[in-house]
């Protein structure tokens, strides 16, 4: 240690450490505040310049000031020094500053260790395949840097090969630990509070524009795999939150009283049941987005009185659920009067023209169905447009929309329809969720994206219960039958790749998403249940943590033993030239000429020429290559030729011929 | 035995083979010994061609040659030279002895007394002579070819171990084979051809060749093998003691020169095996009889040492 402390760092080793700093801290720039990115980038450039100019590293006092300033800045920015973002920012700051006092080998080792630690923090932000590949490359770089620090100057290719070999040896341990290390539900340590910010998904209220913003995102909401066949695409309504309270601008869910929340909805299934497994991305809300309407729910979830499936806790990590749903059903035929009463409430004194229209319909109609049909036929037959870019609406939003602009998006149509129904005395509410999805032919998963977000309406009809009405389907039928891309006029902004006509591009995306899905299902989704599943498939009856730990230790020990033996064997016959020559001599032995242990290559070749003239030329060639390789200056070309000689030996049967 | 040697060496080998028939290996060993700046000891019966070989090499290399016939009454001054008083100039003048020659054939060295023997052997080692307080360098190159009769013959003073060590190689000529002997008998005395031999070398050419021979590449794998052989002589029960580090250096130098004579750029195990009997036989004594090791003993040693 004392030696390391004083031993100065070689000038030629510095680029390795700067590369380490760049590879480990660089990608974090995405999450850092701008001033920090500028500071860290500036420090890095300065250090590179100091290296190029062989300049003096800064002294202790300015460095201390830089550290204090940086830490103060982070404290001011995040109001804390703990938690995910502040902690990562602190580590990145250290990584940028440590090279500034990199005088000795010991300092360099600190940089490498800090690099290994900083690598782990990337998993706070992303666990995707590209991140994994990047971290793998960075780990190789870190290991190579350690080799460079301890092994002195060598060709980069040699260092890289050595680092690769070391990582390859670590691979079996990684697999064993990954498969067998006892898993616990949830993350290993409590994640900081801010870990779940910035997840996208449906919101617990619906204001104009909230869905159209979500639709711009091509991110995946969930993936579904049906046990058997799929329902019709127009039946794929994935139910999210239901809203029955309107304040003139925003739709919200009503706060339910304790008894109302306990009420179990009644569902009569009239058609087929579909069973499927859904892998839901984290969205930080409780709803599970089951196919409307779920009849059998996974454990730890419940069916709300408003028919959506809810988890006990918000979904903070990608999770899998198995549901059974029916698309033909009658729900809550005997709804409580309080609920129906609530489903008629409207804020007073707004939208007078809309109210008047509704009252006119009510007076003309004999039943709620006729009122519904009147509204739908208005949407269908008059000049309404389906667009993501509707004009702004004024105080009487419904009046403006229905009589002036007539341009809107599913949220506008659902909202206007429910308003009309309520004004005409038909209990109605807004339902948000997703509609449709895209079948990936590569792995058979149905992918539902944020761009499939949708809003529709439900009205309550006596004898039929809550009945789905999708006014958007009346305006733009293709939205429900073919998807959002087909329904929107060309030129409207959509998530990249949602509107793909190019076949190969679509096929490539499907393939990539199938790979990603496999990664999610098997690597990231490897939870205690999956582990138990895998272990029982491997022959463990009732795996508990004791037997698992024992297996873990035994397997690691065996792997270590195998690698050590292999290394010893390699050391004994380290020279590839020797191995190739031995192979050739073994080949000759099978053909009747045995080399004595003491016999040199040229002597042996001379003897072969005497005993087996047919093999003379080849053996002479091989002996020359070997002599050059082992006792002279033969290069890799000679080795290749020597190895070829062993293959060029005529097959043994010719001896008999 | 073909060779890819550089031209003057190949020429020497070819010409020497015309004079000394059927002794290709011995000629090569003698030439290797010269190129490795060592001295050569030829041990055999009288009349098998020892002197002819020495004389032939000297002529072919274009070197100055002198011959000393050792007898039991010889004194050191007889070979080194004496100072004689010059009356006219009233000073002593040194008359160099036969030792001041580039190639010295020391015939029947074991007939001389130990005193005279050691005078010769010291000169071989130091490559200079000191008499009457004055040091005189011997010519360069300086190459001694000594012959001795088998030591069981009457009237010999066997050379002690330490003196034998001064000879890089010891060779035996042996009887000529059937064909060579017939050619010899048909062609008359070969010595008659000697005056007609033309030199293939100039003395200036020799030194660079010796330098090239000393620079022949030796890989670490070959050093492993040399060490294994040396180790084998030390651990073997057959020998009273093993080879010394100086003997190991001699082995390597001889192997280099052998590879050079063969026209190669690096030393192979074959080269070491070829020179090992010459290097080891006169340095090793058999535990069973106390005599010097024979060729068969060294061959057995080689066969017992695997080559990795």
Give the tens place of pLDDT for each residue, B269-289.
Answer: 999 999 999 999 999 988 888
Residue, of A653 and B137, whose pLDDT is higher: B137
Q: Give the residue-averaged pLDDT of A638-655.
A: 76
B133–chain A nearest CA distance, Å: 49
Q: Would you state the pLDDT for residue A2?
A: 45
Contact B141, B34 (CB under 8 A): yes
Question: What pLDDT band is residue A555 in, cutting at 50, 70 and 90?
Answer: confident
Alpha-carbon span A22 to B186, nearest angstrom? 89
Q: What is the dihedral of CA A471, A477, A482, A485, to 10 degrees?
A: -80
Would you state the pLDDT for residue A652?
A: 57
What pLDDT, on the 0 to 100 scale, is given for residue B273?
A: 94
With a cut of 70, say whether residue A188 has pLDDT above it.
no
What whole-number distance in Å separates Cα of residue A336 and Cα of residue A23? Answer: 62
Is B306 in contact with A633 (Cβ distance < 8 A)? Answer: no
pLDDT of residue A502: 66
Judge whether A645 counts as a catalytic residue: no
Give the distance from CA A467 to its chain's centroid: 37
Sign of CA dihedral A185, A190, A193, A196: negative
- Asked if B307's CB is within 8 angstroms of A631's CB, the reply is no
Least confident of A228-237, B192-201, B235-244, B249-258: B192-201
pLDDT digits (tens, 9 = 90+) for A384-405: 888 877 888 888 888 888 888 8
Residue A654 binned pLDDT confidence (cut-offs 50, 70, 90): very low
Nearest chain A residue to B217, by CA: A632
Separation in Å, CA of A643 to nearest CA in chain B: 18
Q: What is the DSSP letter of B264?
A: -
C-alpha to C-alpha distance for A516 and B20, rounded to whole angstroms: 85
Mean predicted lDDT score pLDDT of chain A:
83
Q: Where are the domains of chain B?
A: 1-192+203-213, 216-308
Task: Give exposure, B217-241, as e/b (b: 16+ Cβ within 10 Å).
Answer: ebbebbeebbeebbebbeebebbee
The pLDDT, as a whole number, for residue A195 is 47
Distance CA(A141)–CA(A156), nearest Å, equals: 11
User: Long-range contact list for A476-480, CB < 8 A, 24+ apart?
Assistant: A476/A386, A479/A386, A479/A410, A479/A435, A479/A454, A480/A233, A480/A234, A480/A435, A480/A436
Q: Which residues touch A327 (CB under 8 Å, ≥6 apart)?
A: A231, A232, A235, A271, A272, A274, A291, A292
CATH architecture of B216-308: Orthogonal Bundle (1.10)
3-state secondary structure A335-378: CCHHHHHHCCCCCCCCCHHHHHHHHHHHHHCCCHHHHHHHHHHH
Chain A residue nearest residue B304, CA to CA? A598
Question: What is the spatial distance between Cα B279 and Cα B256, in angstroms, rounded to a whole number?
Answer: 13
C-beta of residue A310 within 8 angstroms of C-beta of residue A283: no
Q: Helices A601-611 and A616-631: crossing angle, nearest 10°?
A: 180
Least confident of A109-123, A181-195, B47-61: A181-195
CB pairs < 8 Å spanning A and B: 43
- Domain positions in chain A are 2-155, 205-487, 576-656
Coil, strand, or helix at residue B56? helix
> Taking Cα atoms as reference points, which of B159, B163, B81 lies closest to residue B121?
B163
Is the Cβ–Cβ distance between B67 and B105 less than 8 Å? yes
B269–A632 C-beta distance less than 8 A: no
Mean pLDDT of A553-580: 81
The single residue of A31, A410, A443, A638 carrying the catalytic annotation is A410
Kindly tell me if the per-residue pLDDT of A187 is higher than 70.
Answer: no
Q: Does residue A636 or residue A49 have the better pLDDT?
A: A49
- With CA atoms as reference, the chain A residue closest to B223 would be A631
Average pLDDT over residues A534-558: 79
Q: How far is CA A159 from CA A150, A573, A628, in A?
A: 11, 22, 26
Question: Active-site residue among A454, A585, A628, A638?
Answer: A454
What was the pLDDT predicted at B231?
92
pLDDT at residue A194, as a whole number: 46
Task: Chain B: give the shortest CA distance to residue A633, in Å.
Answer: 9
CATH superfamily of the B1-192+203-213 domain = P-loop containing nucleotide triphosphate hydrolases (3.40.50.300)
Output the pLDDT for position A656: 42
Quote ipTM for the complex.
Answer: 0.87
Chain A residues touching B302 at Cβ < 8 A: 598
- Per-residue pLDDT, B4: 66
Please say if A103 is a catalytic residue: no
Question: What is the pLDDT confidence band of residue A101, given thresholds at 50, 70 and 90?
Answer: confident
What pLDDT score does B272 carry?
Answer: 94
| pLDDT confidence of residue A517 | 80
């Amino acid at each position: 240690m004392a030696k390391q402390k004083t031993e100065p760092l070689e000038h030629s080793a510095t680029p390795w450490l700067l590369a380490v700093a760049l590879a480990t801290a660089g990608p974090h720039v995405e999450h850092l505040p701008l001033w920090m990115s500028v500071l860290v980038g500036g420090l890095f450039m300065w250090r590179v310049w100091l290296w190029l100019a062989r300049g003096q590293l800064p002294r202790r006092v300015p460095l201390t000031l830089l550290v204090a300033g940086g830490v103060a800045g982070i404290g001011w920015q995040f109001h804390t020094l703990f938690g995910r973002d502040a902690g990562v920012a602190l580590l990145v700051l250290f990584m940028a500053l440590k090279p500034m006092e990199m005088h000795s080998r010991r300092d360099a080792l600190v940089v490498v260790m800090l690099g290994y630690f900083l690598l782990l923090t990337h998993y706070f932000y992303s666990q995707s395949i590209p991140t994994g590949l990047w971290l793998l490359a960075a780990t190789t770089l870190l290991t190579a840097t350690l080799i460079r620090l301890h092994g002195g100057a060598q060709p980069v290719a040699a260092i890289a090969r050595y680092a690769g070999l070391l990582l390859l040896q670590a691979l079996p341990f990684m697999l064993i630990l990954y498969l067998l290390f006892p898993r616990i539900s949830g993350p290993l340590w409590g994640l900081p509070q801010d870990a779940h910010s910035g997840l996208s998904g449906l919101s617990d209220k619906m204001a104009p524009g909230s869905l159209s913003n979500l639709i711009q995102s091509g991110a995946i909401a969930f993936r579904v795999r049906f046990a058997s066949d799929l329902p019709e695409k127009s039946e794929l309504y994935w139910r999210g939150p239901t809203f029955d309270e309107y304040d003139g601008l925003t739709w919200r869910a009503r706060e339910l009283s304790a008894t109302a929340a306990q009420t179990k909805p009644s569902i009569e299934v009239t058609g087929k049941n579909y069973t499927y497994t859904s892998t839901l991305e984290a969205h930080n809300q409780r709803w599970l987005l089951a196919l409307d309407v779920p009849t059998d729910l996974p454990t730890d979830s419940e069916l709300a009185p408003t028919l959506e499936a809810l988890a006990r806790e918000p979904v903070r990590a990608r999770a899998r659920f198995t549901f059974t749903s029916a698309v033909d059903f009658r729900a809550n035929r005997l709804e409580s009067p309080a609920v129906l009463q609530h489903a008629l409430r409207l804020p007073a004194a707004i939208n007078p023209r809309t109210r008047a229209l509704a009252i006119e319909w009510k007076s003309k109609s004999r039943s709620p169905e006729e009122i519904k049909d009147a509204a739908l036929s208005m949407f269908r037959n008059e000049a309404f447009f389906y667009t993501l870019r509707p004009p702004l609406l004024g105080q009487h939003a419904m009046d403006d929309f229905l009589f002036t602009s007539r341009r809107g998006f599913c949220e506008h149509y659902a909202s206007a329809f429910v308003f009309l129904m309520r004004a005409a005395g038909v209990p109605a509410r807004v339902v948000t969720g997703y509609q449709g999805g895209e079948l990936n032919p590569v792995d058979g998963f149905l992918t539902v994206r944020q761009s499939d977000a949708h809003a529709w309406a439900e009205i309550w009809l006596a004898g039929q219960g809550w009945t789905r009405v999708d006014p958007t389907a009346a305006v733009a039928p293709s939205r429900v039958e073919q998807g959002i891309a087909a329904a929107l006029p060309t030129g409207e902004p959509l998530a990249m790749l949602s509107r793909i006509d190019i076949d190969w591009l679509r096929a490539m995306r499907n393939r990539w998403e199938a790979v990603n899905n496999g990664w999610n299902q098997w690597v990231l989704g490897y939870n205690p249940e999956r582990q138990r599943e895998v272990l029982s498939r491997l022959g463990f009856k009732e795996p508990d943590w004791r037997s698992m730990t024992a297996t873990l230790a035994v397997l690691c020990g065996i792997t270590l033993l195998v690698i050590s033996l292999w290394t010893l064997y390699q050391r004994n016959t380290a020279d590839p030239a020797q191995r190739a020559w031995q192979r050739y001599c073994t080949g000759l032995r099978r053909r009747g000429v045995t080399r004595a242990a003491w016999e040199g290559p040229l002597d042996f070749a001379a003897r072969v020429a005497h005993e087996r003239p047919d093999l003379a030329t080849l053996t002479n060639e091989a002996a020359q290559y070997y002599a050059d390789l082992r006792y002279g200056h033969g290069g890799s070309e000679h080795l290749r030729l020597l190895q070829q000689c062993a293959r060029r030996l005529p097959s043994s049967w010719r001896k008999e011929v | 035995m073909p060779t890819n040697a550089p031209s003057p060496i190949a020429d020497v080998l070819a010409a020497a083979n015309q004079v000394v028939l059927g002794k290709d290996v011995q000629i090569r060993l003698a030439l290797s010994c010269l190129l490795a700046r060592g001295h050569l000891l030829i041990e055999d019966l009288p009349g098998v061609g020892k002197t002819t070989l020495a004389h032939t090499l000297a002529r072919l290399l274009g070197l100055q040659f002198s011959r000393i016939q050792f007898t039991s009454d010889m004194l050191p001054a007889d070979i080194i030279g004496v100072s004689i008083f010059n009356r006219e100039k009233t000073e002593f003048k040194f008359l160099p002895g036969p030792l001041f020659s580039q190639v010295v054939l020391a015939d029947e060295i074991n007939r001389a007394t130990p005193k005279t023997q050691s005078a010769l052997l010291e000169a071989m080692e130091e490559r200079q002579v000191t008499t009457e307080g004055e040091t005189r360098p011997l010519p360069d190159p300086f190459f001694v070819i000594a012959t001795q009769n088998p030591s069981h013959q009457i009237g010999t003073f066997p050379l002690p171990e330490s003196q034998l060590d001064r000879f890089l190689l010891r060779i035996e000529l042996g009887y000529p084979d059937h064909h060579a002997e017939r050619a010899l008998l048909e062609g008359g005395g070969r010595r008659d051809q000697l005056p007609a031999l033309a030199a293939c070398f100039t003395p200036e050419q020799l030194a660079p060749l010796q330098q090239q021979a000393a620079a022949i590449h030796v890989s670490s794998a070959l050093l492993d093998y040399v060490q294994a052989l040396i180790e084998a002589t030390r651990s073997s029960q057959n020998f009273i003691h093993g080879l010394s580090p100086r003997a190991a250096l001699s082995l390597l130098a001889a192997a280099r020169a052998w590879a050079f004579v063969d026209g190669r750029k690096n030393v192979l195990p074959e080269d070491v095996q070829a020179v090992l009997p010459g290097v080891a036989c006169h340095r090793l004594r058999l535990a069973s009889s106390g005599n010097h090791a024979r060729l068969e003993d060294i061959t057995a040693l080689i066969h017992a040492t695997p080559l990795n």
